């Protein structure tokens, strides 16, 4: 998914020229992708729980590869918008399905691994962008470039598909709340959760409080807000960091690109190290530290005109945000143990909505008060990540209560 997205972003200028679009019309066309993403996540909400993530990953893995090629066939605005909308819908469905699969794999594996999976997305995006740049420099036209990415992605999906776990009916919460040590017993069967721990019996047994649907909805909303905070920050770095360095600090176009390059590098490295950090320190301390790092990093970048310090600030901003989205998505899959796909899809959909609207809102605010002050919006949102980090722990605890509750009630019967 990262490989294909990186290739497309590198070849956007070629798509603009092929479809004969102005900058303004291109912006309208590009908005079809986030619209499709939000719709795709909404469709995935029921499909993941009904048919399982395995089948959806295999279907929409191939579908998204085919959709990536479609803009190469578009020579006018309507065709390009249809192609980009297809990329968004298939990408939204694939993203929810593969994250649901990742949460199930993490539960069966017995220790945090999902952040490393997201690191491969970032690594793929870097490879796709570099490959797209090389193809553009070599004069390769749009369609063969996108076809190369689509074919590569299809081969990867076809190879990986048979290794996916069967449909999981439950997702254990263990990896989301505290450090998880190596399993001392034999692993649970693939795709299924471990049996809950035995509950105390007898007169002294304490009934585990049940989790209501309203509690689940509030938790999903809290996780969705965390996703919005992180993805608005990612979108702001992608859309506005170079503009800020070029227009506000007066750098060259080449130097202006260093801000996002540094952000992307630490985003990838942070995700590569994220699982070890979660395993060692627990999810809430790590996410709280990430929020504080992101807040301090972007605030530092905006507080000084010294270019090296500003780039260092964007570097810290990327490191701070790197682990947040994978853990928020995983917590969304654990928030509702009865319908993990529903909780995950809602959290992903809210996050995508924030990623789509956030940079536009920053631009609108910047037109009134200036970009320098407008970029303090993601500073405030990063601070909220540090404040609201305990929501990720509550996701695991609620899922555990839902699994233990029936056993406690059965044992408590006279």
Task: Work out the mean pLDDT of the chain and round it to a whole number.
Answer: 83
Q: Tell me which of 200 and 166 has the higher pLDDT.
A: 166
Q: Identify the pLDDT of residue 320.
A: 96
Q: Mean of the pLDDT values across residues 359-381?
A: 90
408-to-99, 156, 194, 332 alpha-carbon distances in Å: 31, 45, 16, 25
pLDDT recorded at residue 201: 44
**pLDDT beyond 50 at 361:** yes
Pairwise pLDDT comparison (262 vs 177), residue with the higher score: 262
Does 260 or 272 have the greater pLDDT score? 272
229-250 residue pLDDT tens? 999 999 888 878 888 888 888 8
Pairwise CA distance, residues 111 & 107, whole Å: 7
CA distance 36 to 39: 5
Model pLDDT, residue 312: 95
pLDDT in the model for residue 210: 56
Over the stretch 252-268, which tens digit does the pLDDT of each residue have?
877 887 888 889 899 99
In the predicted structure, residue 174 carries a pLDDT above the cut 90: no
Cβ-Cβ contacts under 8 Å for 309 (sequence gap 6 or more): 300, 301
pLDDT band at 310 (very low <50, low <70, confident <90, very high): very high
The pLDDT of residue 384 is 97
Are the C-beta atoms of 165 and 105 separated by less than 8 Å?
yes
Distance of alpha carbon 237 from alpha carbon 36, whole angstroms: 22
Q: Where are the domains of the chain?
A: 1-167, 212-414
Distances (CA, A) of 374 to 208, 272, 293, 358: 47, 31, 19, 11
Q: Give the contacts of 55 (CB within 8 A, at least 6 positions apart).
A: 167
CATH fold match for the domains 1-167 and 212-414? yes
Sheet strands (E) in 4-67: none
Give the per-residue pLDDT at 367.
86
**Sign, CA torsion 324/329/331/335:** positive
pLDDT band at 356; cut points 50, 70, 90: confident
Q: How many other C-beta atoms can be found within 10 angstroms of the C-beta atom of residue 342?
A: 21
CB crowding 86-95: b at 16 or more within 10 Å, else e: bbbbbbbbbb
Residues 143 and 18 sit within 8 Å (Cβ to Cβ): no
Asked whether residue 203 carries a pLDDT value surpassing 50, the answer given is no
Q: How confident is the model at residue 399 (pLDDT cuts 50, 70, 90)?
A: low
Q: 122-135: per-residue pLDDT in tens?
A: 898 888 888 888 88
> Cβ of 380: how many Cβ atoms within 10 Å?
12
212-414: CATH topology is Growth Hormone; Chain: A; (1.20.1250)
pLDDT of 15 > 80? The answer is: yes
Helices (H) and strands (E) in the chain, counts: 17, 0
Q: Which residues contact 230 (CB under 8 A, 6 or more apart)?
A: 321, 324, 325, 328, 351, 381, 385
> Residue range 177-205: average pLDDT?
40
Please return the burial class of 112, using the count of CB atoms within 10 Å of its CB with bins 0-12, 13-18 and 19+: buried
Q: Tell me how far apart the alpha carbons of residues 194 and 211 are, in angstroms, rounded to a whole number.
A: 20
pLDDT digits (tens, 9 = 90+) for 68-121: 999 999 999 999 999 999 999 999 999 999 999 998 898 888 889 999 999 998
Going by pLDDT thresholds of 50, 70 and 90, the confidence category of residue 295 is very high
Count Cβ atoms below 10 Å from residue 119 Cβ, excluding itself: 23
Any idea what the Cα angle at residue 358 is, between residues 352 and 363, rounded to 5°? 150
Residue 363 has pLDDT above 90, yes or no: no
CB 329 within 8 A of CB 344: yes
> Residues 130-152: what's their mean pLDDT?
91
User: From CA 61, how far away is CA 225, in angstroms rounded?
Assistant: 27
* 312-326 per-position pLDDT tens digit: 999 999 999 999 999
The pLDDT of residue 252: 82
Helix, strand, coil in percent for the chain, rounding step 5? 80, 0, 20
Could you tell me if 59 and 44 are in contact, meaning their C-beta atoms sit under 8 angstroms apart? no
Give the span between the Cα atoms of 239 and 332, in whole angstroms.
27
Which of the residue ranges 21-25, 273-277, 303-307 would you say has the lowest mean pLDDT? 21-25
Distance CA 162, CA 152 (A): 17
| Alpha-carbon distance values, 111 to 254, 317, 341 (Å) | 42, 27, 21
Instruction: Supply the CATH classification number for the domain 1-167.
Output: 1.20.1250.20
């Amino acid at each position: 998914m990262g490989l294909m997205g990186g290739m497309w972003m590198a070849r956007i200028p070629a798509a603009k020229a092929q479809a004969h679009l102005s900058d303004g019309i291109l912006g309208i066309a590009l908005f079809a992708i986030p619209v499709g993403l939000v719709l795709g996540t909404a469709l995935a909400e029921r499909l993941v729980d009904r048919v399982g993530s395995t089948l959806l990953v295999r279907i929409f893995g191939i579908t998204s590869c085919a959709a990536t090629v479609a803009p190469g066939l578009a020579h006018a605005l309507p065709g390009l918008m249809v192609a980009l909308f297809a990329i968004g819908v298939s990408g939204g469905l694939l993203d929810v399905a593969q994250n649901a699969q990742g949460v199930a794999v993490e539960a069966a594996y017995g220790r945090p691994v999902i952040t490393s999976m997201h690191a491969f997305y970032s690594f793929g995006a870097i490879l796709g962008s570099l490959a797209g740049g090389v193809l553009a420099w070599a004069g390769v036209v749009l369609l063969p470039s996108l076809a190369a990415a689509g074919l590569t992605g299809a081969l990867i999906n076809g190879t990986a598909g048979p290794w996916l776990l069967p449909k999981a009916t439950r997702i254990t919460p263990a990896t989301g709340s505290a450090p998880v040590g190596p399993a001392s017993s034999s692993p649970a069967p693939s795709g299924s959760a471990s049996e809950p721990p035995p509950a105390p019996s007898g007169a002294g047994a304490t009934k585990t409080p049940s989790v209501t649907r309203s509690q689940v909805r509030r938790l999903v909303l809290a996780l969705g807000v965390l996703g919005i905070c992180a993805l608005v920050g990612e979108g702001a770095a992608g859309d506005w960091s170079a503009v800020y360095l070029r227009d506000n600090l007066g750098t060259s176009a080449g130097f202006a690109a260093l801000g996002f390059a540094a952000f992307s590098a630490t985003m990838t490295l942070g995700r590569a190290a994220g699982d070890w950090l979660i395993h060692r320190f627990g999810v809430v301390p790590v996410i709280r530290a990430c929020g504080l790092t992101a807040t301090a990093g972007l605030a530092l970048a905006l507080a000084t005109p010294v270019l090296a310090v500003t780039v260092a600030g964007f570097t810290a901003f990327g490191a701070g945000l790197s682990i947040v989205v994978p853990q928020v998505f995983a917590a969304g899959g654990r928030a509702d143990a009865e319908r993990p796909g529903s909780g995950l899809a809602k959290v992903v959909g809210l996050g995508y909505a924030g990623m789509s609207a956030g940079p536009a809102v920053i631009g609108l605010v910047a037109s009134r008060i200036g970009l320098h002050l407008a970029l303090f919006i993601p500073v405030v949102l990063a601070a909220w990540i540090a404040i609201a980090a305990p929501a990720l722990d509550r996701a695991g605890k609620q899922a555990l209560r839902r699994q233990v509750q029936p056993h406690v009630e059965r044992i408590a019967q006279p």
